[in-house]
Amino acid sequence: MEIKVLGSGCAKCKTTYEMIEKIVKENQLDATLSKVEDIVELLNYGIMTTPAIVVDGEVKLKGHVPTESEIKKILGI
């Protein structure tokens, strides 16, 4: 599974990344997690509000910091 957190590097984006990282480790998921801060790549995904979460190339969430339960649902846990 490939997970990307899209955002400008703001506090909300960092919080989202850290929450996903924690959940991936706790559940020992086979996942690659990365941050994408390049504005061109964000626009390629059609993202206008951040943070956003992309899983395997599909935008799953955008515009707010998710709860742990939202992240687990997105990741299929």
User: Which of the residues are catalytic?
Assistant: 10, 13
Residue type, 23: I
* Dihedral of alpha carbons 57, 61, 63, 67, sign: negative
Nearest-angstrom CA–CA distance, 25 and 49: 27
C-beta of residue 62 within 8 angstroms of C-beta of residue 10: no
